Chain A
Amino acid sequence: MTAPVPVSLIVNGTEVSRLVAPRTTLADFLRFDLELTGTHTGCEMGACGACLVMMDGEAVHACLVFAVQAVGSRIETVEGLAERGAIADLQAAFHVRNALQCGFCTPGMLVTAHALLERVDEVPSREEIRDALSGNYCRCTGYEAIVDAVTAAAQTRCCGGARPADALQDEGVQP
């Protein structure tokens, strides 16, 4: 019986139910069944980090979870995080710091950075940020600008919440 099985879970706040083949990864489920293509797939074996999503509040690789294993869980994709404004500061900081080129790795980078900033109460050191990003590959930008962007977002988050890009620019953060 490798036939499709019913899967119900909450994605970006909405309950969804579908029939899926057991071998379907959560990443493919999000991309093909739900058309949430912000979650990218690169290596499909846990190495590149393009597929990260929040699962019950924690970052996980959507390519390393079968959709059937996620039954009953709460998934938030990069679309969900963006729409509720949870990563507006990170998006702005990535933009201002030129922390992306092709953008393929960016959803995973944003999810990792978001998970890190949710976890810490202080501005993390560059080493801590690098450690957190150690499972995310970027083929274009180099990591310096990404670490800069996460640092900038952390600095604004720690002192009273997210601030938009123009506020960053007012502080002399140049694109």
Chain B
Amino acid sequence: MKARAFTYVRARSLEEAVTRFGEADGEASYISGGQSLVPALALRLQAPAVIIDLAGIATLRGVMLEDGALRIGALTRHADVLTHPLIGAHAPLLREAAPHVAHPAIRNRGTIGGNIALADPASEFPAMLLAIDARVEIFGPAGFRQVPADDYFLDLYQTAAEPGEIVTAILVPPAPPGTVIAMDELARRRGDYAMVGAGLQGRFSTDRTVEALRIAFFSVGATPVRAKGAETAVIGNALDAVAIAKAQRALDDDLDPMDDEEVPAAMRRHLARVLLGRLLQRMRDKT
């Protein structure tokens, strides 16, 4: 199938992109890597009259340390997340997740900004942003603003960004020394969307008790989900079998997975428990 005919605009600045979007009267879409938008156009799930390409906007590029935060430009591709030394050093959980995002050729075009803007609940990076306490920088007609990841993902494909606003960067507090991470997903085939997945970032004190921990799941509901009960169950404790079992039980209240024909809710709950157990053990083994 083919996309409906559209007008193509190559924006040179954020201001130009937002203006052109406004002029299109609700009939426009931005495009970054196109790895989700082009299939949606081919299937006629979307048929905008105007497509505004963000790829030429220089300010959306680059990965740098700025004002004590790691700034990952929206056009940073999944393939760059895998290899960029600053991301490896300061946001290792993103690097850990990147090989699970689609297939190599899709990672060569797909961008982290497009991925976060789309906010697919089965996608890896949105949950990782929760686990690393990142902020999303957004540009719109009123200028720039920042939204903590905890407040950014609102509902199925719905985010705090309004139509016409552009995700410009992900801002990450650099992982402090001694940070321990774990990430994995249960998928039927490598590169497929996961049945359940999770990312964890934390710190242990010298007596090996859990000092800090953030746990975020994906593919368990309309948005990525913090497992706050499970976090509370282990913070301040050693990661022994008792604490891990307690965290697994807490997931019953943390998660409210959907039922679908492929994966019933009860199975997702089970898989989430299994995955959390493995990931906590993996963290313990690293300390």
Given contacts A2-B5, A23-B5, A45-B39, contact A52 B105 (CB under 8 A): yes
Cross-interface CB contact of A135 among B2, B43, B79, B106, cutoff 8 Å: B106
Could you list 6 A-B pairs, sorted by A, with CB under 8 Å? Answer: A5-B8, A61-B35, A64-B34, A64-B38, A65-B34, A115-B105
Does A101 lie at the interface of the complex (its beta carbon under 8 Å from any beta carbon of B)? Answer: no
> Would you give the 0/1 interface string for A55-89, flagging 1 where the beta carbon is closer than 8 Å to chain B?
10011110111101100000000000000000000
A-B residue pair count with CB separations less than 8 angstroms:
92
Cβ of B3: which chain A residues have Cβ within 8 Å of it?
Answer: 23
Cβ of A28: which chain B residues have Cβ within 8 Å of it?
Answer: 2
Given contacts A64-B109, A69-B55, contact A131 B5 (CB under 8 A): no
**A168-B55 Cα distance, complex, nearest whole Å:** 44
Does A132 lie at the interface of the complex (its beta carbon under 8 Å from any beta carbon of B)? Answer: yes
Does B270 lie at the interface of the complex (its beta carbon under 8 Å from any beta carbon of A)? Answer: no
Does B102 lie at the interface of the complex (its beta carbon under 8 Å from any beta carbon of A)? Answer: yes
Cβ of A1: which chain B residues have Cβ within 8 Å of it?
Answer: 7
Does B104 lie at the interface of the complex (its beta carbon under 8 Å from any beta carbon of A)? Answer: yes
Cβ of B5: which chain A residues have Cβ within 8 Å of it?
Answer: 2, 21-23
Asked whether B190 lies within 8 Å of A61 as measured between CB atoms, the reply is no
Q: Report the nearest A residue to B103, measured CB to CB.
A: A135
Cross-interface CB contact of B38 among A46, A49, A112, A130, cutoff 8 Å: A46
Besides A60-B109, A64-B38, A64-B109, 9 other A-B contacts (C-beta < 8 A) = A1-B7, A22-B7, A23-B6, A45-B42, A46-B106, A63-B38, A68-B8, A68-B10, A68-B53
Does A91 lie at the interface of the complex (its beta carbon under 8 Å from any beta carbon of B)? Answer: no
Cross-interface CB contact of B104 among A55, A59, A64, A65, cutoff 8 Å: A59
Q: Which of B6, B43, B55 has the most chain A CB within a 10 Å cutoff?
A: B6
Cβ of B282: which chain A residues have Cβ within 8 Å of it?
Answer: none
Cβ of B106: which chain A residues have Cβ within 8 Å of it?
Answer: 46, 61, 64, 135
Size category of the binding interface on chain A: 20 to 34
Cβ of A131: which chain B residues have Cβ within 8 Å of it?
Answer: 99, 104, 190-191
Asked whether A22 lies within 8 Å of B38 as measured between CB atoms, the reply is no
Does B250 lie at the interface of the complex (its beta carbon under 8 Å from any beta carbon of A)? Answer: no
Does A134 lie at the interface of the complex (its beta carbon under 8 Å from any beta carbon of B)? Answer: yes
Asked whether B102 lies within 8 Å of A135 as measured between CB atoms, the reply is yes
Does B86 lie at the interface of the complex (its beta carbon under 8 Å from any beta carbon of A)? Answer: no
Interface of chain B residues 97 through 132 with chain A (CB within 8 A): 99, 102-106, 108-109
Secondary structure of the A contact surface, majority rule: mixed
Given contacts A2-B7, A44-B1, contact A130 B190 (CB under 8 A): yes
Identify the A interface with B (CB < 8 A): 1-2, 5, 21-23, 25, 28, 44-46, 49, 52, 55, 58-61, 63-66, 68-69, 112, 115-116, 130-132, 134-135
Asked whether B103 lies within 8 Å of A23 as measured between CB atoms, the reply is no
Q: Report the nearest A residue to B102, measured CB to CB.
A: A135
Cross-interface CB contact of A134 among B1, B31, B41, B191, cutoff 8 Å: B191
Cβ of A58: which chain B residues have Cβ within 8 Å of it?
Answer: 79, 105, 108
**A130-B260 Cα distance, complex, nearest whole Å:** 29
Cβ of B35: which chain A residues have Cβ within 8 Å of it?
Answer: 46, 61, 64
Asked whether A49 lies within 8 Å of B108 as measured between CB atoms, the reply is no
| The 10 nearest A-B residue pairs measured at CB | A135-B103, A22-B8, A45-B39, A2-B5, A134-B191, A23-B3, A59-B105, A58-B108, A64-B38, A134-B190
Asked whether B6 lies within 8 Å of A22 as measured between CB atoms, the reply is yes
Given contacts A46-B38, A135-B103, contact A2 B6 (CB under 8 A): yes
Interface of chain B residues 17 through 54 with chain A (CB within 8 A): 31, 34-35, 38-39, 41-43, 51, 53
Does B4 lie at the interface of the complex (its beta carbon under 8 Å from any beta carbon of A)? Answer: yes
Asked whether A25 lies within 8 Å of B38 as measured between CB atoms, the reply is yes
Asked whether A132 lies within 8 Å of B8 as measured between CB atoms, the reply is no
Q: B55 CB to closest chain A CB, in angstroms?
A: 7
Does B189 lie at the interface of the complex (its beta carbon under 8 Å from any beta carbon of A)? Answer: yes
Given contacts A49-B103, A58-B79, A59-B108, contact A22 B189 (CB under 8 A): no
